[in-house]
Structure 1
């Protein structure tokens, strides 16, 4: 029996997975953490640029407002990018859409690099917005592409690589931000331009790799190109079973043509899928993980960890995140998705409660802050080793091809809107509620545990049509959305 590595290296699948990661979730992860370490340097740059332009120091509230724009325009750009995924990917295909998206990232890097010489904080704002747009498009298409190239036997681990590259991007942002590497005042614009190198690699290499087989067969109707793409990715073979599954899905799509986002939201037959990704996205974004990624310095400072030790603990968080993500990938196709969800969220609920306790006891002994740090590391291990990876797999498995594009638009907008809200609200929460802000996170994690345990069907090793049937079979108080639709049709 072939090992996973042998399956991935029989063709170009492993190369494509790496190249997709470089221009997809890696970029989003890097820009989440990469803005943290150069923040004081950028604020001083705003001050000096304002002074040279107007020959007077800027009002403090103006610096705060400009800095807030620099931070928040990334999420706004990503929200806009997620909303255009359908147009982008439908017109150009998965491969060409990612190539064009990488060109946007390269242009953003050029603007960022020249902003310092031009002494223009406006250019930094524009660059951050374009980076966000590129991340919003790239992350959605990356997930879609992975789901459409992978055989169902290893679909879990292939789609989970998006979470691994996200973790690697976050770790890279933390690593390059160290003062020993690029974390110096004269290099802040270079720190924010590092992902451009990976975008350049994607633009050079991706044209030589195949487009997604499902896209070629189902949306383009080109069975020869689909078979050629499968052989290029996974080695020689007839791939009869895979193409029969695509044919069955194509027949289902002909009965239900591709939907717009509004049509998808109105369709009762996918109501449980939409509720599921909404609940899981909310639990993921409000679990405390994004807040830890963005505000880890503030959290450790509140916990009482010495200031000069925090940057190294943060790099340790990145290492823990990527290690647990890889471990999750090795077990997801054996254990399934559901245990990773309800087990992970259950553990996170307990850890959030313990963090609340240790934050309240931080002044009782010198070693308590380090217990808090250990709990935060454990939180990241449980999150990345459970819900994070399972979410990446689930999003690619529960929608038919006709619904998938609109679903990824919905998911991307949902994700980035919540991310923007967390970025705006969490600083106020941690100042107002202090230790008790993690009680709210514990409640969201408990919701995720209960929902996935009682309502989420297992998707491991199942076709999209089988998974859709499982969702339609869900009943609450003896009723299901599928039954309601049937009654409406008869009337």
Structure 2
């Protein structure tokens, strides 16, 4: 009770901006356990499971390839060609992305009809989060993703389930996070924005907001949702096709497409491919490399947490542009050190440093903030469709990279990092020139920032028109 009275006192002393947003009030609002629980329930069965799956499929790689060889020989009585084995393995590790693509399309359409809490996780988190911590809430997805990778690496150790006889059981453990989410997620309310703007259910919207923020603090977010609802004026959910013909979201779509392609083409997959080789050349015994690889998982977890702490202070642009710029630098360093890996005994240690630094740079910006921007660039009527586009681009790019990447590495070797360097620089320049800062802005404010790009210098905001009439 005393904490609530103190918070109310702080709110009454804060100055409110013209948008109705009080920075002092925002600082005093402490997220409830319900909001934190919703983030955990969403993250454990989605991003965590995704990262866990990526990690556990790597541990039994030689055992699965051996199983493929033995199965092929038992059926056809010939040895499997190495190139064909690479192709089969590429399909195995990439085919789940097709499921992700189908799920994105189905989930996105379901989001506009039956709600989003079970369908589109970044969308749900972006809509339930208060403005002042919207960044760290959506970055929570990346925190769970990196946590899943780290836990998968630990479970995949030979002392756990990484032995040859346990690899089927190791892959089966991916069902556990999904079961946890199925049990826990129904305990949390639907997105308040969906309830008010799409369903016109003010009572359930207020009930959901009170559940997430408490009865003392929900009014700020309620006012923000009502303002967006009035601005949309009953506008219906737009389909993906309609989005591509809507000039009001032209540059928002371009931005999320470029950023999601960039996440897959930036070279992060190449880093993991070369990590084993780099550690081996550094003199680490083969049997100890899995333990050293845990360092990459720890690096990712640290940077995801750091990104979450910084994103609502430093802003999204600084983290993403800085991350891609650092990644471009480390691509150059890795090309040089991998080329001269045998020249001196200390060069492999520079390669190790480059691998870890690249992962840190990726997690600090591009890996954590991209989902945040996808949630913030759109209003309620276009957000579900935008996530279908972003998810489809991401999964398709992932599938293409997974299929083609092993052959690229075999052909270009370490010089593939020069391509990744060019991609990182191009995306950093694009974001610097095009993407506006979204920190502490409402969805309507962000929409107004983009209208100057969508309509050019002649665009006049409602505020400009009101001032002109006066």
TM range (shorter): 0.7 to 0.9
| Deviation by residue 1:12-46 (Cα, 9 ceiling, x = unmatched) | 11111111110111111122222111122223333
Specify the SS of the correspondent of 1:236. coil
2:255: which partner in 1?
276
Instruction: Check if 1:250 corresponds to 2:224.
Output: no
After superposition, residues 12-161 of structure 1 pair within 5 angstroms as: 12-49=34-71, 54=75, 56=77, 59-60=80-81, 66-95=88-117, 97-98=118-119, 141-161=120-140
After superposition, residues 16-415 of structure 1 pair within 5 angstroms as: 16-49=38-71, 54=75, 56=77, 59-60=80-81, 66-95=88-117, 97-98=118-119, 141-237=120-216, 239-254=218-233, 256-293=235-272, 296-297=275-276, 307-415=286-394
Q: For 2:160 and 2:355, how far apart are their aligned partners in 1?
A: 25
How far 1:295 sits from its partner (Å)? 5.8
Q: Comparing 22-31 with 236-245, which one deviates more in the overlay?
A: 236-245
**Number of residue pairs matched?**
438
Specify the SS of the correspondent of 1:19. helix
Q: For 1:303 and 1:432, how far apart are their aligned partners in 2?
A: 23
Q: Say whether the 8 Å CA contact 2:90–2:406 is kept in structure 1.
A: no
How far 1:445 sits from its partner (Å)? 1.0
Q: For 2:249 and 2:181, how far apart are their aligned partners in 1?
A: 34
| Deviation by residue 1:343-391 (Cα, 9 ceiling, x = unmatched) | 1111111111111111111011122112111111011111111222221
Structure 1 residues 7 and 368: CA distance shift in structure 2, 3 A: farther
Q: Say whether the 8 Å CA contact 2:27–2:132 is kept in structure 1.
A: no
Q: For 2:230 and 2:26, how far apart are their aligned partners in 1?
A: 31
Q: For 1:241 and 1:309, how far apart are their aligned partners in 2?
A: 53
Structure-2-length-normalised TM-score: 0.86
How far 1:212 sits from its partner (Å)? 1.4
Q: Say whether the 8 Å CA contact 1:156–1:329 is kept in structure 2.
A: yes
Q: For 1:434 and 1:35, how far apart are their aligned partners in 2?
A: 23
Q: Comparing 250-259 with 280-289, which one deviates more in the overlay?
A: 250-259
Structure 1 residues 251 and 318: CA distance shift in structure 2, 3 A: same
Structure-1-length-normalised TM-score: 0.82
How far 1:70 sits from its partner (Å)? 2.0
Q: Say whether the 8 Å CA contact 1:11–1:232 is kept in structure 2.
A: no
Structure 1 residues 367 and 56: CA distance shift in structure 2, 3 A: same
Q: For 1:70 and 1:201, how far apart are their aligned partners in 2?
A: 26
Q: For 2:272 and 2:122, how far apart are their aligned partners in 1?
A: 21
Q: For 1:270 and 1:156, how far apart are their aligned partners in 2?
A: 21
| Deviation by residue 1:314-354 (Cα, 9 ceiling, x = unmatched) | 21101000111101111111111111111111111111111
Instruction: Check if 1:419 corresponds to 2:405.
Output: no
Q: For 2:262 and 2:158, how far apart are their aligned partners in 1?
A: 34
Q: For 1:50 and 1:305, how far apart are their aligned partners in 2?
A: 33
How far 1:466 sits from its partner (Å)? 0.8
CA root-mean-square deviation: 2.8
Structure 1 residues 174 and 476: CA distance shift in structure 2, 3 A: farther
Structure 1 residues 62 and 356: CA distance shift in structure 2, 3 A: closer
Q: For 1:8 and 1:142, how far apart are their aligned partners in 2?
A: 22
Q: Say whether the 8 Å CA contact 1:303–1:362 is kept in structure 2.
A: no
Q: Say whether the 8 Å CA contact 2:26–2:132 is kept in structure 1.
A: no
Q: Say whether the 8 Å CA contact 2:132–2:312 is kept in structure 1.
A: yes
How far 1:57 sits from its partner (Å)? 5.6
Q: Say whether the 8 Å CA contact 1:284–1:387 is kept in structure 2.
A: yes
How far 1:55 sits from its partner (Å)? 8.1
Gaps of 5+ in 2: 1-5, 8-24, 462-470
How far 1:228 sits from its partner (Å)? 1.1
Q: For 2:28 and 2:373, how far apart are their aligned partners in 1?
A: 25
How far 1:312 sits from its partner (Å)? 2.3
